[in-house]
Amino acid sequence: MNFAVLQFPASNCDQDAVHALRNVFGHSARLLWHKETSLGDVDAVLIPGGFSYGDYLRTGAIARFSPVMQAVQTFAANGGLVLGICNGFQILCEAGLLPGALIRNRSLQFRCEHVFVKTVTKDSPFTGQVPDGKLMRIPIAHGEGCYFADEETISRLKSNNQILWQYVNDKGEATEVANPNGSVQNIAGICNERRNVAGLMPHPERACEPLLGSADGRLIFESFLNYLQNKNVAKAA
């Protein structure tokens, strides 16, 4: 499988994403500078975490104007798989590829810790391989991770089953205490209506090897890798 991992000025999780894709899962991953206008021949795009453009104005608000984002828009419009992690999620919301916005954490503190995340639905390319009831322990590191959307958007997300992940406690309950940033409905990640674009604040690429304290993030990678493999098999048949 061929992945493009985007690089903006001040991306800082790009190498972690490439490491996971190449060395943990054995796929090909190419770094793509944000000035590029074409994605080339790729199966999926990963927008990594970081502080693109120093998070000026509002995080992701400048990166969304980078030339590469036009190519991402076209790729997504054609059904291509796009995953945004942390700053990548923020950029996807700013670009209008995902609804809502990521705003300052309610605590006004930068939060850097491991959290528990529950997968709300297996009905997406990003969650299909997560076992029922599995609580994933994954790190977060953000200052603007509070997902916000108006009530109408939230009810649409719910009725379309677009909420993919929620912050929970170690019993799997979506409580206020378990929510590290004050996001609406404890939302940690969502997908678009078509289900080919997703974003989440936690960092699964930093939780793919036991050496890093958790390997639960693998389940997200395994989900979209499995989806892409089936898609390629179907195409070849």
Ligand X SMILES: NC(=O)CC[C@H](N)C(=O)O
Q: Provide the token pair at 36.
A: 């590029």
Tokens of 176: 């206020």
The Cα 229–Cα 169 span in angstroms is: 33
The Cα–Cα gap between 43 and 81 comes to 7
Q: Which residue's beta carbon is nearest to the bound ligand X?
A: 49
CB of 104 to ligand X, least distance (A): 8
50 makes contact with ligand X (CB under 6 A) = yes
Selection from 192, 145, 148, 149 nearest residue 49 by Cα: 145
**Site for ligand X contains 49 (CB under 6 A):** yes
Told to check if 55 binds ligand X by CB under 6 A, we report yes
Could you say whether residue 87 binds ligand X (CB under 6 A)?
yes
CA–CA gap between residue 204 and residue 188 (Å, rounded): 12
Query: In a 3-state reduction of DSSP, which class is residue 103?
Result: strand
Binding mask 99-138 for ligand X (x = CB under 6 A): ----------------------------------------
Min separation Cβ 195 and ligand X, Å = 23
Work out whether 147 is an interface residue with ligand X (CB under 6 A). no
Considering only the stretches 14-22, 35-43, 47-55, 184-192, report the one whose residues sit in contact with ligand X under the rule CB under 6 A. 47-55
Question: Does residue 205 bind ligand X (CB under 6 A)?
Answer: no
Scan for tokens 């000035």, then name that residue: 35
Distance spanning both ends of the chain, measured CA to CA: 17
Residue numbers at the binding site for ligand X (CB under 6 A): 13, 49-51, 55, 59, 86-87, 90, 141-145
